[in-house]
Chain A
């Protein structure tokens, strides 16, 4: 199967962030950069925002990349370093799910 590039995955995450940002006031909007912190201290997202982001990313991977992934399976939740920490860790985690 064709490898899905980091650029493509990041673009999908950024599209999901656009969707989430529509609901957020100016100062809370999430930056579309790889280093943006999504989870834990330093994140602009509250817990509900995080839930919405994860669901939006899953739906966009389905719609834009045609693949069904589950970002919150036991594996993701049991990792020592949360895959949801930053845009980059999320992107890497999605790549590992898609390309394995």
Chain B
């Protein structure tokens, strides 16, 4: 893989995705981002697409754009995600559809289209975002945690299907980090979750880019199908 990479990140209007987009732009990589809202990122290495990750037509247009304008695609980071906490008995079906749609279907669509591009160069890195909420089976997060478990299983199967094309597929199990995603979760609930970790603190954004850096490194070509949990779960 080259020094300057072509990187696609989903969910870049705020939070972890915005941080990662700015981080990789600042290192001189070419970053394409997307989210439903516009992006505030102003960097000559960055281009933005306003789309919903579940909109197949728009997603295909984005990939066509990359195929026409870039030498290939080196890295996909499937970060876009939504959460909602509720007791199962109080969870509307519409919420279930939305969470599975964004977290799982969106991840599937981007992986499928990215693999079509990456196969040409016989190399590529796909990084999906899961959550420690899956392994910890956190009460109140049944649908969110399940959607992330689906991402982990999908990651493992996909890693096998793409291995002969030189593409690795891994996921990162993220622990609570201060973004809008958890701003409405009562502090007590977050504290309870942190208590379940081996290292009992919130994640820093740098804890996440450390793992994405590691997975993107040329030397990590022998690591695939893994879910790497932060915080020691």
Contacts and interface: CB of A to CB of B under 8 A. Distances in A.
A55 B165 CA distance: 13
Contact of B164 (A48, A55, A59): A48
B119 A62 contact: no
Interface string A47-66: 01000100100110010000
Nearest to A55: B116
Contacts of A48: 164
Contacts of A52: 119
B42 to A, nearest CB: 32
A67 to B, nearest CB: 12
A5 interface: no
Interface string A66-79: 00100000000000
Interface in B34-76: 60, 64, 67
Contacts of B119: 52, 55
Contacts, number: 10
Nearest to A62: B64
A62 B68 CA distance: 11
SS of A interface (majority): helix
A66 to B, nearest CB: 11
Interface residues on A, range: under 10
B229 to A, nearest CB: 31
A55 B60 CA distance: 13
A22 to B, nearest CB: 11
A94 to B, nearest CB: 17
Interface in B195-214: none
Contacts of A59: 67, 116
B66 to A, nearest CB: 12
Interface in A16-72: 48, 52, 55, 58-59, 62, 68
Interface of B: 60, 64, 67, 116, 119, 164
9 contacts: A48-B164, A52-B119, A55-B116, A55-B119, A59-B67, A59-B116, A62-B64, A68-B60, A68-B64
Given A48-B164, A58-B116, A68-B64, 5 more contacts: A52-B119, A55-B119, A59-B67, A62-B64, A68-B60
